Amino acid sequence: MPGKLILLPNVLDESLPTEPFLPAALASVIAQIQGLIAESEKTARRYLRRFLSHEQMGAMPLQLLNEHTASLDALLTPLLRGETWGLISDAGLPCIADPGSDLVWAARLHQIGVETYAGPSSILMALQLSGFSGQRFSFHGYLPREMPDLERKVSELEKSEGTQIWIEAPYRSAKMLETLLRILKPETNLCVAASLTFPEEKVHSGKIAHWRGRSFPLAKEPAVFLIAKAP
């Protein structure tokens, strides 16, 4: 009989405490899993350290799922023989801007049970905090890095219906904001949500015309960008 894949939430940064961001039930859930799948061994060990003793953590089998994973066969094998494994992302929720969705799809095809637990998602938190419509929205991952591809993509999103959301590498956040203030139309609505769940969290929403008259310094910090057409 197939086993079970459990999707485990993670904090948005490893420096943050478990409480109040992760469910209290996770401790008992993680004590029962027979292995953990993560993007890196370092992430996996630091995650397990929050819930298990040193001996328990050392005995926990680990497998990696990231951009270098060529096949899911090794990940499916213990699940197909009836074991229960957990899956985490480096930050936030598995399968959201994360390679975990491929494993979940494969688990579904093999009739392997999948469970999930609630936790922080910078993408959904940014949408909530933006004041933009949550009735219709699209997430685009990372936009092109080079000009003019980035300019073309932003212009395309600016014309789209609903709220358009994307993320950027922390060291490029300030450059992304600079680009948006330069190329977006004055009436377009922009929200930047940076360092979510950190003490220094900052979020601002407004029309581009208003943004151009204010200061919103971005260091090398994680940020979510949202734009929406003027109503």
- pTM value > 0.75: yes
**Cα Rg, the chain, nearest whole Å:** 20
Q: Is 115:4 a contact under the CB 8 Å cutoff?
A: yes
pLDDT at 231 over 70: no
Q: Is 39:100 a contact under the CB 8 Å cutoff?
A: no
Q: Supply the pLDDT for residue 1.
A: 80
Calculate the alpha carbon distances from 164 to 1, 128, 151, 153, 156 in Å: 42, 13, 15, 11, 10
Tell which residue, 227, 135, 137, has the closest CA to residue 187: 227
How sure is the predictor about 2, in pLDDT bands with cuts at 50, 70 and 90? confident
> For the domain bounded by 4-116, which CATH number is listed?
3.40.1010.10
Distance CA(18)–CA(223), nearest Å, equals: 21
Q: State pLDDT tens for residues 179-204.
A: 999 999 999 999 999 999 999 999 99
C-alpha count within 13 angstroms, C-beta hemisphere, residue 217: 2
pLDDT at 143 over 80: yes
Q: Is 175 exposed, middle or buried (0-12, 13-18, 19+ CB in 10 A)?
A: middle
Q: Supply the pLDDT for residue 213.
A: 84
3-state secondary structure of 114: strand
Q: Which CATH class is domain 122-228?
A: alpha beta
Q: Is 226:190 a contact under the CB 8 Å cutoff?
A: yes
pLDDT at 230 over 80: no
Annotate 128-148 with b (16+ C-beta within 10 A) or e (fewer).
ebbebeeeebebeeebeeeee
Domain layout of the chain by residue ranges: 4-116, 122-228
